Amino acid sequence: MLEIASGELRQLRPRMQMIFQDPFSSLNPHKTVEQIIALPLRIRGTRSREALDKRIKELLQLVGFDLSQAHRFPHQFSGGQRQRIGIARTLACEPELVIADEPVASLDVSIQAQILEILRGLQQRFRLTTVFISHDISVVSHVSQRIAIMYLGKIVEIGPAQSVIRQPLHPYTRALLDAVPRIERGAQKEAALLSGDPPSPMSIPPGCRFHTRCYLDQIPQCRSTEPQLRAVRPSHSAACHLAASQ
């Protein structure tokens, strides 16, 4: 699943930064947190010790750290803390676009909540444009304004977050939503269960790539013609031959 939150761009220079699933492998183990964050600041022209310290302190505070932790090494932190260091480094680059690839996938829920709140706060504060990639549609729906649903390498539905969640257009989206086990006991819908496994990306089915698992009453085009993304509601589109008739 792919989520796009658009906001106004603060910086004019196009810059893009990634936040990864595994923060550990993307942090230099031989550098302290301070050095890790200082590097992009230096590259971007902050030179004086004073200015650097001030900026590092600001950035660490944004992700819930204090300066006393700045001289420690990545291995001395937990997974969630490392993810926060990664976010602070990303912000040091002053990106216009952040691509966060499964940033909370390997974290416990209590830590996941900490990171999600930090990301959400930053989005609101700096109007940061974020592409938030996740397989967890509950998480996605919490941090995003727009949602794109992917199936076998293609976007099959895209639209405003609440519209996609409440009134999904594509049968795959509906199955995904139904499959999420809800905490509220009454909330579980009779699931539109998908049978079988997703086909291998090496042999994508002809026509609609979802037709081998689709539970709708298919029409001949489903097996012969690839459906294109079409707006069914204002700014809410789906790639399904039957989308309009639902």
Partner 1 sequence: MMERTLLEVKNLQTHFSTYRGTLRAVDGVSLTVRRGETLALVGESGCGKSVTGLSIMRLVRRPGRIIQGEISFDKEDLLKKPRAEMRQIRGGRIAMVFQDPLSTLNPAFTVQNQISESLKIHGVASGREAKERSIQLLEAMGIPAARERLRNYPHELSGGMRQRVMIAIAASCEPELLIADEPTTALDVTLQAQIMDLLAQIKKERGLAIILITHDLGIVSQFSDRAAVMYAGHIVEQGAVESLLEEPLHPYTRGLLQCVPRLGRPDLPITPIEGSVPDMAALPTGCRFAPRCPHVMEHCWQSMPLTYEPAPGRSVRCFLYGEAGDSVRGVDTT
Instruction: Report the interface residues with partner 1, using CB under 8 A.
Output: 78, 80-81, 108-114, 116-117, 135, 137-139, 141-142, 161-162, 165-166, 175-185, 188, 191, 193-195, 197-198
Is 174 buried (19+), middle (13-18) or exposed (0-12) by CB count in 10 A? buried
CB of 73 to partner 1, least distance (A): 17
Cβ-based nearer residue to partner 1, 12 or 183: 183
Question: To the nearest whole angstrom, how small is the minimum distance from the Cβ of residue 197 to partner 1?
Answer: 4
Structure tokens at 105: 């996938």
Nearer to partner 1, 53 or 101 (CB): 101
> Whole-angstrom Cα distance, residue 194 to residue 174?
10
First-to-final CA distance of the chain: 23
* CA proximity to 104, closest of 83, 88, 87, 85: 83
Helix (H, G, I), strand (E, B) or coil at 138: helix
Closer Cβ to partner 1, 92 or 210, answer by number: 210
CB 129 within 8 A of CB 6: yes
Least distance from partner 1 to the Cβ atom of residue 112, Å: 7
- Minimum CB–partner distance for residue 103 and partner 1 (Å): 14
CB nearer partner 1, residue 195 or residue 203:
195
